Amino acid sequence: MQGIDNREHRNLLDVFFKYEQMSIIAKSNVMSDEDFKIQKEMEDLSVLYMKFKSLLAELETCGRNYELKKRATRSLIHKRIRILVKKVQEENASLH
């Protein structure tokens, strides 16, 4: 699974904030179509990044829960196998 590089995302945000600051200094409050497009793209990226982080946290929780359930289930299976083996051995011993 390919993830999103946190550092790369932060760097892109830094570049965007610098762009915004330069735009404010260089222009009066008139935004061009390109400015609107850049702003919208950054908003979309931020939403996707937050969704990714949320899903990643959910995936990590799911993975931990799976590992806990796997260990508990394996323990139950092995316990039951030991009981069954003992029962089979006792039955075989009683036949001889």
Number of structural domains in the chain:
1
Residue 87 token pair: 């029962």
Q: Which domain holds residue 38?
A: 6-95
In a domain, 46, yes or no: yes
Give the model's pLDDT for residue 94: 87
Looking at residue 26, its pLDDT comes to 80
pLDDT tens for the 96 residues of the chain, in order: 578 888 999 999 999 999 988 888 887 666 788 888 999 999 999 999 999 999 999 999 999 999 999 999 999 999 999 999 999 999 988 887
pLDDT value for 32 = 81
Tell me, what's the pLDDT at 10? 93
- Residue 77 CA to residue 70 CA, distance in Å, equals 10
Question: Within a domain: residue 1?
Answer: no
Q: Is residue 19 part of a domain?
A: yes
